[in-house]
């Protein structure tokens, strides 16, 4: 058998032997280049997505310039998240008995309605206002001595009818403080809604809080909140005050002591609250310790519907119905005696969803003075010792930040030491734009 060997030249490159593998080498190089390109494109896509979502690794803060990073609902500055919120609320109201919102004053005190019902004209008047619009700034700072530190400031432009501003040319009004508080480690310091009220039970009406008997009040306080079986317990020392209308006696020696126990579960929200107060009069050199209790609930029914209830009794005074009644019997006070004025109030409301975007609330609220009174001017306040309000509305919210609605309200005022009644009505349309 003869073997034939191919000649091989040693020391010279056999270039022709690479020809068969060149396509494979070129293909591999192209594939690697394509993979690297795809990886780079993927990295760019991820970076773009992270920038849109506000995620990813934030740059380290500099000593002379804190970084800004979108953090949830707010803007993060260093280790503090700042949130700006509020709403624009545009209202138009037509009131009976010649009440057309003098000076755009939309607070809607029961005393104002009562005066219009008795002394006003027979025709209706119309007023427009944007003064209930609000703006708020909130902050949250992480790990302040082991706990989050939160602050909140809120203002609107809804001051009294006698405040600066006019409807003639500019309709310009100064802002007023609504809330301003700081919260840390279960403590709250500052001004917010009184611990004696339960906002979860407040009916949803366009003229918010303006009902005959609902507890709706804000004031400075120191509050501590702790866990309790089924819910939480709140204890507070709050600003003491008495007086009536524009009168402020400002002679209290001790703060109001307020407590609220709240339960929240799948059956709804329930709470009981109490307040202990010292009513004083320097001229009479007399001090009386008194108080009041309040029960409230928000109960789910069918679908998204719910029932909201509140009952209060005691020396409610300024705490109820936007100060419909004074804290003391003014006739007794004029005679040199401090006599707390006992009242009660009840509010019931049902909210029904016609569809995901349409809903209505029907609210009935009644308050009454329990103590016997003589007729004015020796009596206690104006001319009524009982009032009832009824509100019904239709609201449309195509988005959670937009609500348009109309509302009808009817008030009845019962005369002191008599059988007479005075009526007041109003129709309100409102647009609320949340930011």
Lowest model confidence (mean pLDDT) among 89-98, 244-253, 270-279, 336-345: 244-253
Confidence tier at 191 by pLDDT (50, 70, 90): very high
So what's the pLDDT on residue 72? 57
Closest to 102 measured CA to CA, from 77, 137, 127, 135: 127
pLDDT digits (tens, 9 = 90+) for 143-187: 999 999 999 999 998 876 666 667 778 888 889 999 999 999 999
SS3 216: coil
Q: In 161-202, where do the E strands start and end?
A: 176-184, 187-193
Query: Is 6 a residue whose pLDDT tops 80?
Result: no
So what's the pLDDT on residue 13? 43
Question: Which residues, in sequence order, are bridge partners of residue 228?
Answer: 231
**Distance between CA atoms of 88 and 352, rounded to whole angstroms?**
25
Annotated domain spans of the chain: 85-126+182-434
**Distance between CA atoms of 407 and 361, rounded to whole angstroms?**
9
26-38 CB burial, b ≥16 within 10 A, e <16 = eeeeeeeeeeeee
pLDDT digits (tens, 9 = 90+) for 305-318: 999 999 999 999 98
The DSSP line for 230-280 is TEEEEEEEE----EETTEE----SSPEEEEEEEEEETTEEEEEEEEEEEEE
pLDDT digits (tens, 9 = 90+) for 366-406: 999 998 765 554 444 567 889 999 999 999 999 999 999 99
How many DSSP H helices and E strands does the chain contain?
Answer: 3, 21
**Distance between CA atoms of 423 and 11, rounded to whole angstroms?**
118
Which CATH code for domain 85-126+182-434?
2.40.160.10
So what's the pLDDT on residue 247? 62
So what's the pLDDT on residue 54? 43
So what's the pLDDT on residue 392? 98
103 alpha carbon, distance to own chain's centre: 25
According to DSSP, residue 229 is labeled T
So what's the pLDDT on residue 384? 86
Closest to 414 measured CA to CA, from 427, 426, 425, 423: 423
Query: Is 355 a residue whose pLDDT tops 50?
Result: yes
Categorise residue 408: left if φ over 0, alpha if ψ from -120 to 50, beta otherwise. Answer: beta
Closest to 82 measured CA to CA, from 72, 96, 95, 92: 72
Across the range 77-97, mean pLDDT stands at: 92
Confidence tier at 45 by pLDDT (50, 70, 90): low
Query: For residues 125 and 98, is the Cβ–Cβ distance under 8 A?
Result: yes
């Amino acid at each position: 058998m003869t073997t034939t060997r191919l000649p091989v030249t040693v020391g010279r490159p056999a270039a022709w032997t690479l020809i068969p593998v060149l396509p494979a080498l070129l293909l591999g190089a192209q594939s690697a280049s394509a993979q690297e390109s795809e990886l780079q494109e993927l990295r760019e896509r991820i970076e773009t997505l992270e920038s849109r979502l506000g995620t990813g690794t934030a740059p380290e803060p500099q000593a002379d310039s804190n970084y800004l990073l979108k953090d949830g609902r707010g803007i993060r500055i260093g280790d503090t998240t700042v949130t700006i919120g509020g709403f624009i609320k545009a209202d138009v109201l037509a009131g009976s008995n010649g009440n057309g919102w003098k000076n755009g004053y939309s607070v809607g005190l029961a005393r104002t309605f009562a005066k219009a019902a008795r002394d006003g004209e027979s025709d209706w008047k119309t007023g427009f206002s944007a003064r209930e619009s609000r703006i708020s700034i909130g902050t949250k700072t992480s790990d302040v001595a082991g706990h989050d530190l939160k602050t909140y400031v809120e203002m609107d432009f809804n001051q009294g009818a006698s405040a600066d501003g006019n409807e003639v040319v500019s309709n310009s009004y100064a802002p007023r403080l609504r809330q301003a508080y700081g919260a840390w480690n279960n403590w709250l310091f500052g001004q917010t809604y009184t611990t004696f009220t339960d906002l979860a039970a407040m009916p949803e009406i366009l003229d918010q809080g303006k009902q005959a008997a609902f507890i709706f009040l804000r004031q400075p306080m120191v509050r501590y909140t702790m866990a309790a079986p089924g819910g939480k317990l709140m204890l507070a020392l709050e600003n003491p005050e008495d007086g009536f209308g524009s009168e402020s006696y400002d002679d209290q020696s001790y703060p109001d002591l307020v407590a609220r126990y709240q339960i929240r579960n799948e059956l709804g929200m329930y709470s009981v609250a109490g307040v202990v107060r010292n009513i004083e009069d320097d001229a009479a050199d007399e001090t009386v310790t008194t108080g009041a209790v309040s029960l409230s609930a928000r109960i789910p029914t069918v679908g998204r519907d719910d029932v909201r209830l509140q009952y209060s009794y005691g020396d409610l005074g300024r705490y109820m119905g936007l100060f419909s009644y004074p804290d003391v019997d003014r006739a007794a006070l004029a005679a040199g005696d401090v006599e707390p004025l006992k009242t009660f109030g009840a509010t019931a409301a049902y909210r029904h969803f016609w569809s995901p975007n349409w809903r209505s609330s029907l609210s009935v609220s009644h308050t009454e003075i329990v103590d016997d009174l003589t007729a004015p001017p020796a009596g206690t306040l104006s001319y009524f010792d009982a009032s009832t309000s009824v509100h019904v509305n239709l609201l449309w919210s195509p988005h959670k930040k937009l609500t348009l609605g109309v509302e009808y309200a009817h008030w009845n005022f019962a005369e002191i030491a008599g059988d007479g009644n005075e009526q007041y009505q109003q129709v309100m349309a409102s647009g609320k734009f949340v930011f």
